[in-house]
Amino acid sequence: MQGKYQLILTAPPADCRAAARFGLPVAHAAYRVGGGPHLFRANLPLPVRGGLMAVDCTGFDGRGESGPFCQEVLRECAARGFTGVLCDFEGRPFPLLIRILQELEGLLEKRGWPLYVPESYGPHTVSARVLVSSALSGGSLARRLAEAQERCGGRAVLAVERTAEDFFLPSPDGQGRPLSREQLHTLLAERSPSVFFSSELCAHYFTYMSRENGAHFVLFDDAGSIRKKLRLARSAGMEQAVLSYPQMEDLLEDILREP
């Protein structure tokens, strides 16, 4: 990417070395908020140092105190040389997780380290960078990013989601069936459809008919559509984007080839 724009790769322990070869900052997805709460960790390779800590909250029950957990995070960052924390929290905001993020925000800011939070937690923070997903099944991505950047006071960061979904038509709830890479390739090979590009959704699409359940609409990304998403984010004033290495590993070289 040109200019000030920065890409960050999230990667689990098994992929951290492969992700690091691209020379981009790596957020190590080896941590979660466990009971207590305590910082639970998977085994990272011993030589791994630097980058960011990526934390999820899978299975967290919402109980405990924020202070000791935040100190565990700081100790682990010091031990591994991490210089930022990315919180990949899903679901409704727990009051305790809000307190943790607010406390971490102040602690990390003193060290000059960034904190990345999900969009649902953005209103509860002051300076944290807010992760805004690129995933859409309707509307305009350019409009969504511009509105998110304004709503977040310039703190928005694009979280790139690689789309591959099969929708029944009509689709009143806007929910599609996720497709694996193999399923998408099989559909393309079997149907040989005419593939179009949606400027609004910033993704490719095609339609097909099934004898069993009628009309389908398939929405998917490739390296070209992801590059376009990144350009839209820059146009909205965003200076960073986060990509999942496992989702993108077969596309990264093409994505990074952008002039």
Q: Say how far apart CA 94 and CA 61 lie, in whole Å.
A: 9
* Judgement on whether residues 191 and 212 belong to the same structural domain of the protein: yes
If one counts the domains in the chain, the total is 2
Asked if residue 127 and residue 64 are part of one domain, the reply reads: yes
Indicate which CATH number applies to the domain containing 73.
3.20.20.80
184 and 93 in a common domain: no
Q: Give the residue ranges of the chain where pLDDT is below 70.
A: 1-4, 258-259
Residues 19 and 107 both lie in one domain: yes
Residues 181 and 212 in one domain: yes
Contacts of 60 (CB under 8 A, 6+ apart): 32, 33, 34, 35, 37, 94, 97
Q: Cα 102 from chain centroid? A: 21
- Is residue 180 domain-resident? yes
> Looking at the domain assignment, is residue 1 inside a domain?
no
Same domain, 210 and 245: no
The verdict on 90 and 196 lying in the same domain is no
CATH of the domain at 189: 3.10.50.10
- Parent domain of 200: 165-218
- Which pLDDT belongs to residue 170? 83
Does any domain span residue 114?
Answer: yes
**What whole-number distance in Å separates Cα of residue 88 and Cα of residue 28?**
11
Domain check: are 85 and 49 in the same one? Answer: yes
Looking at the structure, do residues 93 and 199 belong to the same domain, yes or no?
no
**How does 11-28 read in b/e, with b if 16+ C-beta sit within 10 Å?**
bbeebbeebbebebbbbb
Q: What tokens appear for 18 in the block? A: 């492969």
Are 137 and 237 part of one and the same domain?
yes
Q: Are residues 99 and 192 in the same domain?
A: no
Q: What is the pLDDT of residue 4?
A: 59
Cα–Cα distance for residue pair 249/226, rounded to 1 Å: 13
Sheet strand arrangement including 214-220: 177-178, 164-168, 214-220, 203-210, 196-198
Q: How many CA atoms lie within 13 A of 188 on its CB side?
A: 15
Angle, in degrees to the nearest 10, between helices 223-235 and 141-151: 40
Amino acid at 255: I
Closest by alpha carbon to 122, among 144, 152, 92? 152
Q: Answer yes or no: do 244 and 203 share one domain.
A: no
Query: How many other CB atoms are found less than 10 A from the CB of residue 192?
Result: 10
**DSSP H helices in the chain:** 16-20, 66-80, 95-111, 141-151, 181-191, 223-235, 245-248, 252-255
Q: What is the amino acid identity at position 131?
A: L
